[in-house]
Chains A and B, each alone.
Chain A
Amino acid sequence: MMSGGAEIPPANGPWDAAAEAADPPPPAAAPQASAATKAVNCPNCGGSVEMRAAGYSVSVACQYCGSILDVATPEVALIERYNEQVGDLPLPLGSRGWVKGHEYQIVGYVERATEDESWDEFLLFNPYYGYRWLVRDSEGWSFGTMLTSLPQTSGASAQYAAMQFYNEDGESWDASVSRVVGEFYWRVQRGDVARLTNFYSGDYSLSCEESAGEVNWTVSEPIGRGEMRGFARSDAPGGQLGLSQDPAADAAMAEATGTSAFADGAAPAKSGWMTGDLPGPFARAWTLVKIGGIAAGLMILIMIALAGRGMSEQKFPYQLQLDGPEKTVRFGPLRFDSSSQRVVIRTEAPGLDNAWIDTDVTLVERSSQRTIAAYGVVEHYSGSDSDGPWTEGSDSGSVKLASVPAGEYDLVVDASAHSWPAPNGWGGQTIMVETGISSGGIFFSNFILALFLLMIPPVFLIWRGFKGGK
């Protein structure tokens, strides 16, 4: 993109924010009052030339004869005289439209060419967001933002805003201005030549332009379907240019982005993450995060709604002799009413230390004698060594059974307690044990698994964004 490297008016876009770390200047600081519309007369043809960014523009190309005018001072001076008809532009100067959620007006047009190809560059202006570029080449439309800080370059690569760009062939070209119409914040005229070097990252590109000892960087991002509306002239179908011209969609875009920034005293349109200012993969990841957040919220509501369902815990105390014989105890009846449910069997032995309790628990359905068996262990150890005292394990443990069918059950527990280290012979201390059984509730592991699955796509997009993909 062509630019003069002089003062660049407000440009509070995402790329500028990236350069200014986490504290970009507030959009309201943009001096929109000085960006006024006024007209000057062309000294060559006498035509009235409308200036749409007066106060910022220093040169204007007359739309009637193409002459370049110096408007930096009140006395409009002729920089270069042309006496040819300026043909119709692909998009008319002064037309307004929306790109990536913000409204802009076309204030300038430059046609540039190398030996092999030519392309169109439209200079856009918004009093709050400053200047941007709308570029049309053989591959379609792209949206350019002038950088206010230098990317980090190393050989054939450049890094900006956490994205890595590459110019693998190391190529650069001379591009000259073949046609210019409108107003610009630097002096531009036909025949101006700049040396272009492009770095690519997927559909994104970083352009370095060198001319007259100045270096300017611009980052370009692709414009997706529906991200650009308006602009097209009334007598040329916008569809031919790849533009949407659905009036209802334009109205919806205007409503979504707030009141027009060009209206007197209007508030700036929304900016930041919510309007897609993030680079592509991150913006898409943010959209997915919002959808995933809704799904996670729904699952939390499900957990809350089903939390009180099922049978509350029933407790059964018994005694075990440490290092004694295995003991079998039977508890029941236990009624599970739901057709299928989660059942938790908890064993607790308060004060257990340097010992473990084996528990073989079996649910026996009374009518069919069908069994569901599980195994649990409760173990707790403590001691002291050169590092100081230590403990390990817990004096309670639980077994969670899934999909237990409805019915009337007995709980059979085969339990034995053992000391550590192994004793010499049988007999010893009596241990109080309590087994509790409850049904209902939700496996929290399901929630963790669901969150993990929900995060895979957005995390992948974020990873791809940092890797420089589109």
Chain B
Amino acid sequence: MRLGTILYALWATGISGWFLYAAIVGTSPFATTSQTSRGAGIYGPTHK
């Protein structure tokens, strides 16, 4: 088996492991951890 294939298999295993960990602890790099009000934001439609 090529070294590149083995390295990719390790890469895929690492990603799968991270996915399992993130699923168990309920985390995501895109999720909100803690956030305060956006304050005086701008509201209203952005249509046109």
Contact = CB atoms under 8 A, between A and B. Distances in A.
B20 to A, nearest CB: 6
Contacts of B2: 224, 284
Nearest to A379: B43
A445 B48 CA distance: 30
A291 B23 contact: no
Interface string A269-310: 000000000000000100110011011001100110010000
Contacts of A342: 26-28, 31
Nearest to B44: A420
Given A402-B28, A443-B22, A450-B16, A287 B5 contact: yes
Given A375-B38, A403-B33, A299 B45 contact: no
Contacts of A445: 28-31
Contacts of B15: 295, 450, 453-454
Contact of B45 (A292, A381, A446, A450): A381
B18 to A, nearest CB: 7
Contacts of B13: 295
Interface residues of B, number: 37
A457 interface: yes
Interface stretch (A78-86, A95-103, A385-393): A385-393
Given A373-B36, A385-B48, A402-B33, A291 B8 contact: yes
Interface in B4-44: 4-5, 8-9, 11-13, 15-16, 18-20, 22-38, 41, 43-44
Contacts of A127: none
A393 B8 contact: no
Contacts of B36: 360, 373, 375
Interface string A327-345: 0000000000011111100
B19 A302 contact: yes
Contacts, number: 130
A443 B45 contact: no
A295 B16 contact: yes
A340 B23 contact: no
B5 A291 contact: yes
A306 B24 contact: yes
Interface in A416-455: 418, 420-421, 439-443, 445-447, 449-450, 453-454
Given A291-B5, A381-B45, A383-B45, A373 B28 contact: no
B32 A381 contact: no
A403 B29 CA distance: 11
A401 interface: yes
A341 B26 contact: yes
Contacts of B20: 299, 302
A356 B42 CA distance: 11
Contact of A299 (B19, B27, B32): B19
A337 to B, nearest CB: 12
Nearest to B13: A295
Nearest to B38: A375
7 nearest A-B pairs in the assembled complex, by CB-CB distance: A342-B26, A402-B31, A443-B28, A381-B45, A295-B12, A340-B25, A341-B26
23 contacts: A291-B5, A291-B12, A292-B8, A299-B19, A339-B25, A341-B26, A373-B36, A377-B43, A381-B44, A381-B47, A392-B45, A392-B47, A402-B33, A418-B43, A420-B43, A420-B44, A445-B30, A446-B19, A450-B16, A453-B15, A454-B12, A457-B4, A457-B8
Given A291-B8, A446-B23, 16 more contacts: A284-B4, A295-B12, A302-B19, A339-B25, A356-B43, A373-B36, A381-B44, A381-B47, A385-B48, A400-B31, A404-B26, A439-B26, A440-B26, A443-B26, A443-B27, A443-B30
